Amino acid sequence: MHFYSHPRFQDHCMGPGHPECPERLVAIEKALKTQALWPRLNHQQAKPVDRSLLRLTHTEDLLHRLESPVSDGAYAFIDPDTCMNTQTYEAILLASGAVLQAIDAVMAGDSRHAFCAVRPPGHHAERESAMGFCFVNHIALGALYARQKHGVERVAVIDFDVHHGNGTEDILANEKGVLMVSSFQQGIYPGSGTRPKGQNMVNVPLQAGAGSQAIRLMLENDWLPALQEFQPQLLLISAGFDAHREDPLAGLAWTDDDYALITDALVGLADTFCPNRIVSSLEGGYCLDALGRSVTVHIASLLAPSHKAV
């Protein structure tokens, strides 16, 4: 399985104490090594996306603002919680590039699934706006790229970050050949999702404290029926791990095992409709220890031989 990353991802920094910090990737690497999964991965270095491809998902005005120079030692603020340093723009291009490389690899049969350990994340970035720690939307770009470059007729996007993927929904709402299923904690940032923008959106708002039972019901009643009816040819995962009960930014009660449960179900689905074609890209997750453990069980499930959907 291909594992995409790049040293530049750790150079993007939004200031001391910011939860979306370079140490997140260090925690993931440490946990994968502790569980002896690191050597089982086919490590790939991300390459920057061609800027022209970002026009598939974002306006020229947004791209121009993102590539404006930032002074050394300074931060360019997008919103009170989201800012750029001198290395951010390069990291953005590499993060989107990693997702597109991963799609190329699974479509060519060169990798059985893939994980992109990237930052900054992307699922809050809308067509015209960067926000919520996100600047461009890597997974939305991946969906449109797969349709255009590889002729994939049906792409499914799955987002289990604790925060609603408003940016992905903004870009992909009513997009032909795309289905998005998501879960998120209701009533927290960004405050959207309870009324989906498109007919191709299956959103499951969860109340604070929701845990394993709610996840099973969501899979059985909402996600899996929609995905099975859609019969996807490629699965793209916005893999946020901040629904974990140890995460400081939200209030769901997921455990390490819950991420294994969800991943097992998605791999089982892929085994039926699109074998070996899952691309997962890191979104949120801000308790470093829980993040490392959760990504590890997620990757372990992707590496396992086969599954059956729950």
Q: For residues 263 and 280, what is the distance between their CA atoms, to the nearest angstrom?
A: 10
Q: For residues 133 and 187, what is the distance between their CA atoms, to the nearest angstrom?
A: 18
Q: Which of 58, 124, 138, 298 is catalytic?
A: 124
Whether 124 is catalytic is yes
Among the listed residues 215, 227, 220, the one whose alpha carbon sits nearest the alpha carbon of residue 274: 227
Q: Which two tokens stand for residue 222?
A: 């909402």
Bridge-based pairing of strands 114-116 and 178-185 is unpaired
Residues with a known catalytic role: 124
